[in-house]
Chain A
Amino acid sequence: MNKIEIENLSLQYADGAESLRGISMGIRPNAVTVLFGPAGGGKSTLLRCLNRLNDLTDIKTSSGRILIDGENILDPKTDVIALRRKVGMVFARPVPLPMSIRENITYGLELAGEKRRYKLDEAVERSLKLAAIWDEVSDRLNEPAVALSGGQQQRVCLARVLALQPEIILLDEPTSGLDPISTGKVEMALLELKKNYTVILVPHSVQQAARTADHAAFFLQGELIEYDDGKKMFTTPKQKKTEDYIMGRFG
Protein backbone atom coordinates (compact mmCIF):
# COMPACT_ATOMS: atom_id res chain seq x y z
CA MET A 1 0.00 0.00 0.00
CA ASN A 2 1.53 3.30 -1.07
CA LYS A 3 1.68 6.19 1.37
CA ILE A 4 1.59 8.75 -1.43
CA GLU A 5 0.03 8.38 -4.85
CA ILE A 6 0.92 11.04 -7.40
CA GLU A 7 -1.45 11.02 -10.37
CA ASN A 8 -0.63 12.79 -13.61
CA LEU A 9 0.81 15.86 -11.87
CA SER A 10 1.72 18.79 -14.11
CA LEU A 11 2.83 22.23 -13.01
CA GLN A 12 4.27 25.35 -14.54
CA TYR A 13 5.64 28.37 -12.68
CA ALA A 14 4.53 31.84 -13.71
CA ASP A 15 8.10 32.86 -14.56
CA GLY A 16 8.39 29.90 -16.92
CA ALA A 17 11.03 28.19 -14.77
CA GLU A 18 11.24 24.51 -13.83
CA SER A 19 8.04 22.58 -14.34
CA LEU A 20 6.56 19.13 -14.01
CA ARG A 21 4.98 17.17 -16.85
CA GLY A 22 2.54 14.35 -16.22
CA ILE A 23 4.22 12.78 -13.22
CA SER A 24 2.64 9.59 -11.88
CA MET A 25 4.28 7.56 -9.16
CA GLY A 26 3.52 5.81 -5.91
CA ILE A 27 5.70 6.30 -2.85
CA ARG A 28 6.00 3.55 -0.29
CA PRO A 29 6.01 4.03 3.48
CA ASN A 30 8.98 3.12 5.69
CA ALA A 31 11.49 3.51 2.92
CA VAL A 32 13.81 6.10 1.44
CA THR A 33 12.63 7.21 -1.98
CA VAL A 34 15.26 9.17 -3.83
CA LEU A 35 14.44 11.73 -6.53
CA PHE A 36 17.56 12.38 -8.58
CA GLY A 37 18.63 13.93 -11.86
CA PRO A 38 20.27 17.07 -13.19
CA ALA A 39 19.35 20.52 -11.90
CA GLY A 40 16.09 21.94 -13.21
CA GLY A 41 14.51 18.51 -13.55
CA GLY A 42 11.57 19.17 -11.23
CA LYS A 43 12.72 17.32 -8.10
CA SER A 44 12.44 20.27 -5.73
CA THR A 45 9.21 21.35 -7.37
CA LEU A 46 7.71 17.94 -6.69
CA LEU A 47 8.86 18.06 -3.05
CA ARG A 48 7.27 21.49 -2.65
CA CYS A 49 4.00 20.13 -4.02
CA LEU A 50 3.90 17.47 -1.34
CA ASN A 51 3.66 19.99 1.52
CA ARG A 52 2.00 22.70 -0.58
CA LEU A 53 4.95 25.04 -0.09
CA ASN A 54 4.43 25.98 -3.72
CA ASP A 55 1.44 27.94 -2.49
CA LEU A 56 3.97 30.69 -1.71
CA THR A 57 5.14 30.80 -5.33
CA ASP A 58 3.43 32.16 -8.40
CA ILE A 59 2.07 29.18 -10.29
CA LYS A 60 0.76 29.49 -13.81
CA THR A 61 -0.99 26.19 -14.23
CA SER A 62 -1.20 22.95 -12.33
CA SER A 63 -3.24 19.79 -12.74
CA GLY A 64 -3.36 16.24 -11.45
CA ARG A 65 -3.76 14.86 -7.95
CA ILE A 66 -1.57 13.94 -5.01
CA LEU A 67 -3.16 11.47 -2.65
CA ILE A 68 -1.67 11.09 0.82
CA ASP A 69 -3.42 8.30 2.73
CA GLY A 70 -6.08 8.47 0.04
CA GLU A 71 -6.83 12.19 0.34
CA ASN A 72 -6.10 14.65 -2.44
CA ILE A 73 -3.93 17.30 -0.78
CA LEU A 74 -4.11 19.60 -3.80
CA ASP A 75 -7.80 20.07 -3.08
CA PRO A 76 -8.38 23.75 -2.16
CA LYS A 77 -10.23 22.59 0.96
CA THR A 78 -7.16 20.85 2.36
CA ASP A 79 -6.02 22.12 5.75
CA VAL A 80 -2.49 23.11 4.67
CA ILE A 81 -1.36 23.82 8.23
CA ALA A 82 -2.19 20.27 9.29
CA LEU A 83 -0.65 18.98 6.06
CA ARG A 84 2.64 20.75 6.74
CA ARG A 85 2.77 19.28 10.23
CA LYS A 86 2.29 15.84 8.73
CA VAL A 87 4.76 16.41 5.89
CA GLY A 88 7.95 17.93 7.25
CA MET A 89 10.69 19.48 5.15
CA VAL A 90 14.45 19.95 5.49
CA PHE A 91 16.03 22.48 3.15
CA ALA A 92 19.31 22.53 1.27
CA ARG A 93 20.85 25.27 3.37
CA PRO A 94 20.34 24.84 7.10
CA VAL A 95 18.15 27.71 8.27
CA PRO A 96 18.12 27.86 12.05
CA LEU A 97 15.48 30.36 13.14
CA PRO A 98 17.01 33.27 15.09
CA MET A 99 16.40 31.74 18.51
CA SER A 100 17.91 29.13 20.82
CA ILE A 101 18.34 25.47 19.88
CA ARG A 102 15.51 24.55 22.21
CA GLU A 103 13.17 27.21 20.83
CA ASN A 104 13.93 26.05 17.29
CA ILE A 105 12.72 22.57 18.21
CA THR A 106 9.62 23.72 20.09
CA TYR A 107 8.63 26.39 17.56
CA GLY A 108 6.29 24.19 15.52
CA LEU A 109 4.81 22.48 18.56
CA GLU A 110 4.02 25.76 20.27
CA LEU A 111 2.35 27.00 17.10
CA ALA A 112 0.29 23.82 17.20
CA GLY A 113 -0.84 24.87 20.69
CA GLU A 114 1.35 22.68 22.89
CA LYS A 115 2.09 24.59 26.10
CA ARG A 116 2.91 21.85 28.60
CA ARG A 117 6.54 22.21 29.59
CA TYR A 118 7.17 18.48 30.09
CA LYS A 119 5.71 17.64 26.67
CA LEU A 120 7.99 20.19 25.05
CA ASP A 121 11.05 18.97 26.97
CA GLU A 122 10.21 15.44 25.98
CA ALA A 123 9.92 16.41 22.31
CA VAL A 124 13.22 18.30 22.39
CA GLU A 125 15.10 15.29 23.75
CA ARG A 126 13.35 12.72 21.59
CA SER A 127 13.79 14.58 18.31
CA LEU A 128 17.38 15.66 18.94
CA LYS A 129 18.25 12.03 19.71
CA LEU A 130 16.49 10.85 16.54
CA ALA A 131 18.48 13.36 14.51
CA ALA A 132 21.71 12.10 16.13
CA ILE A 133 22.64 15.48 17.57
CA TRP A 134 21.54 15.17 21.23
CA ASP A 135 24.98 14.31 22.59
CA GLU A 136 26.51 17.34 20.93
CA VAL A 137 23.99 19.94 22.10
CA SER A 138 22.26 18.60 25.22
CA ASP A 139 24.29 20.90 27.51
CA ARG A 140 23.74 24.05 25.44
CA LEU A 141 20.06 23.97 24.48
CA ASN A 142 19.57 27.61 25.39
CA GLU A 143 22.35 28.88 23.17
CA PRO A 144 21.52 30.36 19.77
CA ALA A 145 21.20 27.65 17.12
CA VAL A 146 23.17 29.75 14.66
CA ALA A 147 26.32 29.28 16.77
CA LEU A 148 26.47 25.60 15.78
CA SER A 149 28.49 24.29 12.84
CA GLY A 150 26.72 23.77 9.51
CA GLY A 151 26.42 20.02 10.01
CA GLN A 152 25.03 20.45 13.51
CA GLN A 153 22.62 23.13 12.31
CA GLN A 154 21.27 20.82 9.64
CA ARG A 155 20.63 18.03 12.15
CA VAL A 156 18.90 20.53 14.45
CA CYS A 157 16.74 21.48 11.47
CA LEU A 158 15.95 17.80 10.96
CA ALA A 159 15.12 17.48 14.67
CA ARG A 160 12.87 20.54 14.38
CA VAL A 161 10.86 18.71 11.73
CA LEU A 162 10.83 15.46 13.74
CA ALA A 163 9.51 17.25 16.83
CA LEU A 164 6.18 17.64 15.06
CA GLN A 165 6.01 13.84 14.65
CA PRO A 166 5.35 14.01 10.93
CA GLU A 167 4.59 10.94 8.86
CA ILE A 168 6.51 12.03 5.78
CA ILE A 169 9.88 13.76 5.70
CA LEU A 170 11.04 15.67 2.63
CA LEU A 171 14.74 16.44 2.31
CA ASP A 172 15.92 18.78 -0.44
CA GLU A 173 19.68 18.23 -0.85
CA PRO A 174 20.09 18.35 2.92
CA THR A 175 23.83 17.67 2.81
CA SER A 176 24.83 19.94 -0.07
CA GLY A 177 26.74 22.31 2.18
CA LEU A 178 28.20 19.72 4.54
CA ASP A 179 31.56 18.00 4.86
CA PRO A 180 31.74 14.19 4.38
CA ILE A 181 31.64 13.42 8.10
CA SER A 182 28.54 15.55 8.72
CA THR A 183 27.00 14.08 5.57
CA GLY A 184 27.62 10.59 6.93
CA LYS A 185 25.88 11.50 10.19
CA VAL A 186 22.83 12.85 8.37
CA GLU A 187 22.64 9.75 6.18
CA MET A 188 22.92 7.53 9.25
CA ALA A 189 20.03 9.41 10.80
CA LEU A 190 17.98 8.84 7.64
CA LEU A 191 18.52 5.08 7.75
CA GLU A 192 17.24 5.12 11.30
CA LEU A 193 14.27 7.29 10.38
CA LYS A 194 12.94 5.16 7.55
CA LYS A 195 11.86 2.53 10.06
CA ASN A 196 9.03 4.80 11.13
CA TYR A 197 8.69 7.44 8.45
CA THR A 198 8.21 7.83 4.74
CA VAL A 199 11.40 9.54 3.63
CA ILE A 200 11.73 11.36 0.30
CA LEU A 201 15.22 12.60 -0.46
CA VAL A 202 16.65 14.74 -3.21
CA PRO A 203 20.33 13.76 -2.91
CA HIS A 204 23.17 16.09 -3.74
CA SER A 205 25.04 13.48 -5.78
CA VAL A 206 24.49 10.22 -7.64
CA GLN A 207 26.72 8.54 -5.07
CA GLN A 208 24.45 9.66 -2.26
CA ALA A 209 21.45 8.49 -4.26
CA ALA A 210 23.00 5.05 -4.69
CA ARG A 211 23.97 4.86 -0.99
CA THR A 212 20.59 5.73 0.41
CA ALA A 213 17.90 4.73 -2.08
CA ASP A 214 15.38 1.98 -1.42
CA HIS A 215 13.52 3.30 -4.42
CA ALA A 216 14.84 5.76 -6.95
CA ALA A 217 13.19 8.03 -9.49
CA PHE A 218 15.16 9.70 -12.27
CA PHE A 219 13.89 13.13 -13.33
CA LEU A 220 14.91 14.95 -16.47
CA GLN A 221 13.46 18.28 -17.58
CA GLY A 222 10.24 17.89 -15.67
CA GLU A 223 9.60 14.29 -16.67
CA LEU A 224 9.89 11.08 -14.73
CA ILE A 225 12.18 8.96 -16.91
CA GLU A 226 12.56 5.86 -14.77
CA TYR A 227 11.33 4.71 -11.38
CA ASP A 228 12.53 1.50 -9.84
CA ASP A 229 14.01 -0.33 -6.93
CA GLY A 230 17.17 1.50 -5.83
CA LYS A 231 19.55 -1.43 -6.31
CA LYS A 232 18.31 -2.19 -9.80
CA MET A 233 18.35 1.45 -10.81
CA PHE A 234 22.01 1.99 -9.98
CA THR A 235 23.28 -1.34 -11.33
CA THR A 236 21.09 -2.08 -14.32
CA PRO A 237 19.09 0.96 -15.38
CA LYS A 238 16.57 0.27 -18.15
CA GLN A 239 16.61 3.62 -19.86
CA LYS A 240 19.55 4.89 -21.88
CA LYS A 241 19.19 8.41 -20.41
CA THR A 242 19.30 7.08 -16.87
CA GLU A 243 22.38 5.05 -17.60
CA ASP A 244 24.13 8.01 -19.24
CA TYR A 245 23.42 10.18 -16.20
CA ILE A 246 24.48 7.58 -13.66
CA MET A 247 27.67 6.91 -15.59
CA GLY A 248 28.41 10.60 -15.55
CA ARG A 249 28.08 11.17 -19.29
CA PHE A 250 26.00 14.27 -18.65
CA GLY A 251 24.67 16.17 -15.72
Chain B
Amino acid sequence: MKLFAHNRHTVQRVGYSLITLMAVVTVLPIVGTVIFILFKGGSAISWEFITGFPHDGMRAGGILPAIIGTLYLTIGTAIFSVPLGIAAAIYLSEYAKDTPLTRLIRLAIINLAGIPSVVYGLFGLGLFVLFLKFGTSILAASLTLSIMTLPVIISTAEEALRSVPQSFRTVSISLGATRWQTIRKIVIKEALPGILTGVILGLERAAGETAPILFTGAAFFLPRLPGSPFDATMALPYHLFVISTQVPEMPIQIQYGTALVLLVFVLTMNVIATIIRSRARAKRQW
Protein backbone atom coordinates (compact mmCIF):
# COMPACT_ATOMS: atom_id res chain seq x y z
CA MET B 1 0.00 0.00 0.00
CA LYS B 2 2.80 2.28 0.92
CA LEU B 3 4.28 1.96 -2.50
CA PHE B 4 1.10 3.24 -4.09
CA ALA B 5 0.67 6.11 -1.71
CA HIS B 6 4.17 7.44 -2.12
CA ASN B 7 4.90 6.77 -5.73
CA ARG B 8 1.76 7.80 -7.56
CA HIS B 9 3.77 9.32 -10.34
CA THR B 10 5.82 6.17 -10.79
CA VAL B 11 2.65 4.09 -10.89
CA GLN B 12 1.21 6.52 -13.41
CA ARG B 13 4.29 6.25 -15.59
CA VAL B 14 4.45 2.46 -15.43
CA GLY B 15 0.73 2.19 -16.23
CA TYR B 16 1.04 4.60 -19.09
CA SER B 17 4.02 2.74 -20.55
CA LEU B 18 2.13 -0.54 -20.25
CA ILE B 19 -0.93 0.58 -22.17
CA THR B 20 1.26 2.26 -24.78
CA LEU B 21 3.12 -1.00 -25.18
CA MET B 22 -0.14 -2.88 -25.65
CA ALA B 23 -1.28 -0.42 -28.25
CA VAL B 24 1.97 -0.95 -30.12
CA VAL B 25 1.62 -4.72 -29.82
CA THR B 26 -1.74 -4.61 -31.62
CA VAL B 27 -0.07 -2.89 -34.55
CA LEU B 28 2.74 -5.42 -34.84
CA PRO B 29 0.84 -8.33 -36.44
CA ILE B 30 -0.48 -6.23 -39.32
CA VAL B 31 2.82 -4.46 -39.90
CA GLY B 32 4.67 -7.75 -39.53
CA THR B 33 2.38 -9.53 -41.99
CA VAL B 34 2.66 -6.82 -44.60
CA ILE B 35 6.44 -6.61 -44.35
CA PHE B 36 6.84 -10.40 -44.36
CA ILE B 37 4.61 -10.88 -47.41
CA LEU B 38 6.22 -7.95 -49.17
CA PHE B 39 9.66 -9.33 -48.50
CA LYS B 40 8.84 -12.88 -49.56
CA GLY B 41 6.55 -12.14 -52.46
CA GLY B 42 7.93 -8.88 -53.79
CA SER B 43 10.35 -10.64 -56.12
CA ALA B 44 7.51 -12.60 -57.75
CA ILE B 45 5.76 -9.44 -58.89
CA SER B 46 6.38 -8.67 -62.50
CA TRP B 47 4.35 -7.45 -65.46
CA GLU B 48 3.99 -11.02 -66.61
CA PHE B 49 2.81 -12.16 -63.19
CA ILE B 50 0.04 -9.55 -63.11
CA THR B 51 -1.09 -9.85 -66.72
CA GLY B 52 -0.28 -13.44 -67.65
CA PHE B 53 -2.14 -16.75 -67.42
CA PRO B 54 -0.84 -19.53 -65.23
CA HIS B 55 0.82 -22.43 -67.02
CA ASP B 56 2.81 -25.60 -66.25
CA GLY B 57 0.09 -26.71 -63.82
CA MET B 58 0.03 -23.21 -62.30
CA ARG B 59 3.67 -23.59 -61.27
CA ALA B 60 4.66 -20.77 -63.60
CA GLY B 61 3.17 -17.78 -65.35
CA GLY B 62 0.78 -15.14 -63.99
CA ILE B 63 -2.42 -14.83 -62.03
CA LEU B 64 -4.46 -12.53 -64.27
CA PRO B 65 -7.59 -14.73 -64.26
CA ALA B 66 -7.64 -14.72 -60.46
CA ILE B 67 -7.22 -10.95 -60.30
CA ILE B 68 -9.95 -10.34 -62.87
CA GLY B 69 -12.15 -12.93 -61.18
CA THR B 70 -11.88 -11.23 -57.79
CA LEU B 71 -12.63 -7.92 -59.47
CA TYR B 72 -15.76 -9.40 -61.09
CA LEU B 73 -16.91 -10.95 -57.84
CA THR B 74 -16.42 -7.70 -55.94
CA ILE B 75 -18.36 -5.73 -58.55
CA GLY B 76 -21.06 -8.40 -58.65
CA THR B 77 -21.36 -8.31 -54.87
CA ALA B 78 -21.59 -4.51 -54.96
CA ILE B 79 -24.38 -4.59 -57.55
CA PHE B 80 -26.59 -6.70 -55.29
CA SER B 81 -25.61 -5.71 -51.78
CA VAL B 82 -25.09 -1.94 -52.03
CA PRO B 83 -28.56 -0.81 -53.21
CA LEU B 84 -30.31 -3.38 -51.05
CA GLY B 85 -28.19 -2.61 -48.00
CA ILE B 86 -28.57 1.16 -48.25
CA ALA B 87 -32.31 0.90 -48.88
CA ALA B 88 -32.68 -1.33 -45.83
CA ALA B 89 -30.63 1.09 -43.73
CA ILE B 90 -32.77 4.04 -44.85
CA TYR B 91 -35.90 2.10 -43.97
CA LEU B 92 -34.61 1.15 -40.53
CA SER B 93 -33.22 4.57 -39.69
CA GLU B 94 -35.84 6.88 -41.21
CA TYR B 95 -39.14 5.07 -41.52
CA ALA B 96 -39.33 2.02 -39.27
CA LYS B 97 -41.11 2.43 -35.97
CA ASP B 98 -40.20 0.23 -33.03
CA THR B 99 -42.52 -2.70 -33.76
CA PRO B 100 -42.05 -6.47 -33.36
CA LEU B 101 -41.40 -6.64 -37.11
CA THR B 102 -38.52 -4.16 -37.09
CA ARG B 103 -37.10 -5.79 -33.99
CA LEU B 104 -37.17 -9.09 -35.85
CA ILE B 105 -35.40 -7.49 -38.83
CA ARG B 106 -32.70 -6.08 -36.58
CA LEU B 107 -32.26 -9.41 -34.84
CA ALA B 108 -31.91 -11.13 -38.22
CA ILE B 109 -29.26 -8.65 -39.33
CA ILE B 110 -27.22 -9.10 -36.15
CA ASN B 111 -27.40 -12.88 -36.46
CA LEU B 112 -26.60 -12.78 -40.15
CA ALA B 113 -23.34 -11.05 -39.24
CA GLY B 114 -22.42 -13.86 -36.88
CA ILE B 115 -22.84 -16.78 -39.26
CA PRO B 116 -19.57 -18.52 -40.26
CA SER B 117 -18.69 -17.85 -43.87
CA VAL B 118 -18.62 -21.51 -44.85
CA VAL B 119 -22.31 -21.72 -43.92
CA TYR B 120 -23.01 -18.95 -46.41
CA GLY B 121 -21.15 -21.05 -48.94
CA LEU B 122 -23.35 -24.07 -48.32
CA PHE B 123 -26.48 -21.91 -48.35
CA GLY B 124 -25.41 -20.38 -51.67
CA LEU B 125 -24.76 -23.84 -53.07
CA GLY B 126 -28.23 -24.96 -52.07
CA LEU B 127 -30.17 -21.89 -53.12
CA PHE B 128 -28.36 -20.24 -56.03
CA VAL B 129 -26.32 -23.05 -57.59
CA LEU B 130 -28.75 -25.95 -57.29
CA PHE B 131 -32.27 -24.68 -56.63
CA LEU B 132 -32.17 -21.59 -58.85
CA LYS B 133 -29.91 -23.46 -61.29
CA PHE B 134 -27.37 -20.64 -61.67
CA GLY B 135 -24.66 -23.31 -61.60
CA THR B 136 -21.20 -22.69 -60.25
CA SER B 137 -20.98 -19.14 -61.53
CA ILE B 138 -19.97 -15.58 -60.88
CA LEU B 139 -23.67 -14.82 -60.39
CA ALA B 140 -24.17 -17.45 -57.69
CA ALA B 141 -20.93 -16.51 -55.93
CA SER B 142 -21.73 -12.78 -56.04
CA LEU B 143 -25.18 -13.40 -54.58
CA THR B 144 -23.71 -15.54 -51.83
CA LEU B 145 -21.09 -12.91 -51.02
CA SER B 146 -23.85 -10.27 -51.07
CA ILE B 147 -25.80 -12.01 -48.34
CA MET B 148 -22.65 -12.16 -46.26
CA THR B 149 -21.87 -8.48 -46.90
CA LEU B 150 -25.39 -7.13 -46.30
CA PRO B 151 -25.30 -6.97 -42.49
CA VAL B 152 -22.03 -5.01 -42.57
CA ILE B 153 -23.44 -2.50 -45.06
CA ILE B 154 -26.81 -2.21 -43.35
CA SER B 155 -25.48 -1.67 -39.86
CA THR B 156 -22.76 0.84 -40.81
CA ALA B 157 -25.11 2.74 -43.13
CA GLU B 158 -27.84 2.84 -40.50
CA GLU B 159 -25.31 4.11 -37.98
CA ALA B 160 -24.20 6.82 -40.41
CA LEU B 161 -27.80 7.89 -41.12
CA ARG B 162 -28.67 8.01 -37.44
CA SER B 163 -25.70 10.21 -36.63
CA VAL B 164 -27.17 13.01 -38.78
CA PRO B 165 -28.72 15.39 -36.23
CA GLN B 166 -32.49 15.07 -35.83
CA SER B 167 -32.79 18.87 -35.90
CA PHE B 168 -31.81 18.91 -39.60
CA ARG B 169 -34.82 16.73 -40.36
CA THR B 170 -37.18 18.86 -38.27
CA VAL B 171 -35.98 22.09 -39.88
CA SER B 172 -36.18 20.66 -43.38
CA ILE B 173 -39.74 19.46 -42.83
CA SER B 174 -40.73 22.79 -41.29
CA LEU B 175 -39.54 24.47 -44.51
CA GLY B 176 -42.02 22.47 -46.54
CA ALA B 177 -39.92 19.46 -47.48
CA THR B 178 -41.44 16.01 -47.64
CA ARG B 179 -39.84 13.22 -45.68
CA TRP B 180 -38.25 11.76 -48.79
CA GLN B 181 -36.92 15.15 -49.94
CA THR B 182 -35.37 15.59 -46.51
CA ILE B 183 -33.73 12.19 -46.69
CA ARG B 184 -32.48 12.76 -50.21
CA LYS B 185 -31.24 16.32 -49.90
CA ILE B 186 -29.96 16.42 -46.33
CA VAL B 187 -29.70 13.08 -44.58
CA ILE B 188 -28.11 10.93 -47.28
CA LYS B 189 -25.80 13.74 -48.31
CA GLU B 190 -24.47 14.07 -44.78
CA ALA B 191 -24.31 10.33 -44.15
CA LEU B 192 -22.69 9.46 -47.48
CA PRO B 193 -19.07 9.27 -46.29
CA GLY B 194 -20.09 6.94 -43.46
CA ILE B 195 -22.19 4.84 -45.83
CA LEU B 196 -19.33 4.59 -48.33
CA THR B 197 -16.93 3.54 -45.62
CA GLY B 198 -19.27 0.73 -44.64
CA VAL B 199 -19.74 -0.30 -48.25
CA ILE B 200 -16.01 -0.49 -48.90
CA LEU B 201 -15.29 -2.38 -45.70
CA GLY B 202 -18.05 -4.84 -46.52
CA LEU B 203 -16.85 -5.36 -50.09
CA GLU B 204 -13.28 -5.68 -48.92
CA ARG B 205 -14.27 -8.57 -46.71
CA ALA B 206 -16.16 -10.16 -49.59
CA ALA B 207 -13.11 -9.80 -51.86
CA GLY B 208 -10.90 -11.70 -49.45
CA GLU B 209 -13.27 -14.55 -48.59
CA THR B 210 -12.73 -18.12 -49.78
CA ALA B 211 -15.41 -20.23 -48.12
CA PRO B 212 -18.52 -18.59 -49.62
CA ILE B 213 -17.21 -18.92 -53.19
CA LEU B 214 -15.72 -22.37 -52.71
CA PHE B 215 -18.89 -24.22 -53.77
CA THR B 216 -20.65 -21.42 -55.60
CA GLY B 217 -18.35 -19.90 -58.20
CA ALA B 218 -14.67 -20.56 -57.79
CA ALA B 219 -12.76 -22.59 -60.37
CA PHE B 220 -9.55 -24.51 -59.75
CA PHE B 221 -8.08 -23.51 -63.07
CA LEU B 222 -9.48 -21.84 -66.16
CA PRO B 223 -7.51 -21.38 -69.36
CA ARG B 224 -9.47 -18.24 -70.26
CA LEU B 225 -11.28 -15.33 -68.62
CA PRO B 226 -14.96 -15.79 -67.76
CA GLY B 227 -17.22 -14.56 -70.56
CA SER B 228 -20.55 -14.22 -68.77
CA PRO B 229 -22.02 -14.07 -65.25
CA PHE B 230 -22.93 -17.73 -65.65
CA ASP B 231 -19.30 -18.82 -65.99
CA ALA B 232 -17.24 -19.95 -63.06
CA THR B 233 -14.17 -17.90 -62.31
CA MET B 234 -10.81 -18.09 -60.64
CA ALA B 235 -10.40 -15.77 -57.66
CA LEU B 236 -7.41 -14.60 -55.65
CA PRO B 237 -8.25 -16.05 -52.23
CA TYR B 238 -9.29 -19.43 -53.65
CA HIS B 239 -6.30 -19.49 -56.00
CA LEU B 240 -4.04 -18.85 -53.03
CA PHE B 241 -5.67 -21.72 -51.17
CA VAL B 242 -5.26 -24.00 -54.18
CA ILE B 243 -1.61 -23.26 -54.89
CA SER B 244 -0.73 -23.45 -51.20
CA THR B 245 -2.33 -26.82 -50.49
CA GLN B 246 -3.40 -28.62 -53.66
CA VAL B 247 -0.47 -28.30 -56.03
CA PRO B 248 2.69 -30.27 -55.22
CA GLU B 249 6.08 -28.69 -55.82
CA MET B 250 4.61 -25.22 -56.10
CA PRO B 251 7.29 -22.49 -56.17
CA ILE B 252 6.93 -20.67 -52.87
CA GLN B 253 7.56 -17.35 -54.59
CA ILE B 254 4.30 -17.54 -56.55
CA GLN B 255 2.36 -18.30 -53.38
CA TYR B 256 3.71 -15.24 -51.64
CA GLY B 257 3.31 -13.16 -54.77
CA THR B 258 -0.37 -14.10 -54.93
CA ALA B 259 -0.80 -13.31 -51.25
CA LEU B 260 0.82 -9.95 -51.83
CA VAL B 261 -1.54 -9.07 -54.69
CA LEU B 262 -4.57 -10.02 -52.57
CA LEU B 263 -3.24 -8.04 -49.64
CA VAL B 264 -2.64 -4.96 -51.78
CA PHE B 265 -6.12 -5.31 -53.28
CA VAL B 266 -7.79 -5.41 -49.87
CA LEU B 267 -5.58 -2.84 -48.16
CA THR B 268 -6.08 -0.38 -51.01
CA MET B 269 -9.82 -0.54 -50.43
CA ASN B 270 -9.20 -0.03 -46.75
CA VAL B 271 -7.03 3.02 -47.36
CA ILE B 272 -9.67 4.51 -49.66
CA ALA B 273 -12.29 4.04 -46.94
CA THR B 274 -10.03 5.73 -44.40
CA ILE B 275 -9.37 8.67 -46.69
CA ILE B 276 -13.08 9.18 -47.38
CA ARG B 277 -13.83 9.11 -43.68
CA SER B 278 -11.14 11.52 -42.57
CA ARG B 279 -11.88 13.95 -45.41
CA ALA B 280 -15.55 13.98 -44.51
CA ARG B 281 -14.73 14.51 -40.86
CA ALA B 282 -12.63 17.55 -41.70
CA LYS B 283 -15.40 18.98 -43.88
CA ARG B 284 -18.27 18.24 -41.52
CA GLN B 285 -20.28 21.31 -40.58
CA TRP B 286 -21.88 20.15 -37.36
Residues of A that sit less than 8 Å from B by CB:
51, 53, 56, 81-82, 84-85, 88-89, 91, 93, 95-99, 107-108, 111-112, 144, 146, 157, 160-161, 164
Chain B neighbourhood of A95, CB < 8 A: 165, 167-168, 170-171
**Residue B181 interfacial (CB < 8 Å):** yes
Cβ distance B96 to chain A, nearest Cβ, rounded Å: 14
* CB–CB A160/B167 < 8 A: no
- Give the residue name and chain of the A residue nearest to B172 (CB): A97
Q: Which of B167-219 contact A (CB under 8 A)?
A: 167-178, 181, 185-186, 189-190
* CB–CB B168/A111 < 8 A: no
* CB–CB B171/A98 < 8 A: no
Cβ distance A133 to chain B, nearest Cβ, rounded Å: 17
Chain B neighbourhood of A51, CB < 8 A: 174
Q: For the complex, what is the distance from the CA of A102 to the CA of B182, rounded to whole Å?
A: 18
* CB–CB B168/A84 < 8 A: no
Q: A95-B167, A97-B171 are in contact. Are A81 and B176 (CB under 8 A)?
A: yes
24 A-B Cβ contacts within 8 A? A51-B174, A53-B170, A56-B169, A56-B173, A81-B176, A84-B174, A85-B176, A88-B174, A95-B167, A95-B168, A98-B168, A98-B190, A98-B285, A99-B285, A108-B175, A108-B176, A108-B177, A111-B175, A111-B181, A146-B285, A146-B286, A161-B175, A164-B175, A164-B176
Chain A neighbourhood of B170, CB < 8 A: 53, 56, 91, 95
Inter-chain contact total with CB atoms closer than 8 Å: 64
Cβ distance B4 to chain A, nearest Cβ, rounded Å: 46
- Give the residue name and chain of the B residue nearest to A110 (CB): B185
* CB–CB A111/B174 < 8 A: no
**Could you say which interface size class chain B belongs to?**
20 to 34
Q: A144-B285, A146-B285, A146-B286 are in contact. Are A97 and B176 (CB under 8 A)?
A: no
Cβ distance A105 to chain B, nearest Cβ, rounded Å: 10
Instruction: Please pick, from B173, B284, B286, the residue contacting A84 in the complex, using a CB distance under 8 A.
Output: B173
* CB–CB B174/A107 < 8 A: no
- Give the residue name and chain of the A residue nearest to B175 (CB): A108
Chain A neighbourhood of B181, CB < 8 A: 111
Describe B's contact surface by its main secondary structure: helix
Chain A neighbourhood of B167, CB < 8 A: 91, 93, 95
Cβ distance A38 to chain B, nearest Cβ, rounded Å: 24
Q: For the complex, what is the distance from the CA of A164 to the CA of B174, rounded to whole Å?
A: 11
Chain B neighbourhood of A84, CB < 8 A: 173-176
Chain A neighbourhood of B185, CB < 8 A: 107, 111
Instruction: Please pick, from A56, A98, A107, A146, the residue contacting B175 in the complex, using a CB distance under 8 A.
Output: A107
Q: For the complex, what is the distance from the CA of A161 to the CA of B171, rounded to whole Å?
A: 10
5 smallest beta-carbon distances between A and B, as pairs: A108-B175, A98-B285, A85-B176, A146-B285, A95-B167
Give the interface centre of B170, B175, B190 by most chain A CB atoms within 10 Å. B175
Chain B neighbourhood of A160, CB < 8 A: 175
Instruction: List 9 additional contacts besides A84-B173, A98-B285; criterion CB under 8 Å.
Output: A56-B169, A56-B173, A81-B177, A88-B174, A97-B168, A98-B286, A108-B175, A111-B175, A146-B285
Q: For the complex, what is the distance from the CA of A160 to the CA of B175, rounded to whole Å?
A: 8
Chain B neighbourhood of A107, CB < 8 A: 172, 175, 177, 185
* CB–CB A81/B178 < 8 A: yes
Chain A neighbourhood of B165, CB < 8 A: 95
Cβ distance B259 to chain A, nearest Cβ, rounded Å: 43
* CB–CB B178/A97 < 8 A: no
Q: For the complex, what is the distance from the CA of A174 to the CA of B273, rounded to whole Å?
A: 40
- Give the residue name and chain of the B residue nearest to A90 (CB): B174
Chain B neighbourhood of A97, CB < 8 A: 168, 171-172, 186
Q: For the complex, what is the distance from the CA of A85 to the CA of B178, rounded to whole Å?
A: 12
Cβ distance B48 to chain A, nearest Cβ, rounded Å: 50
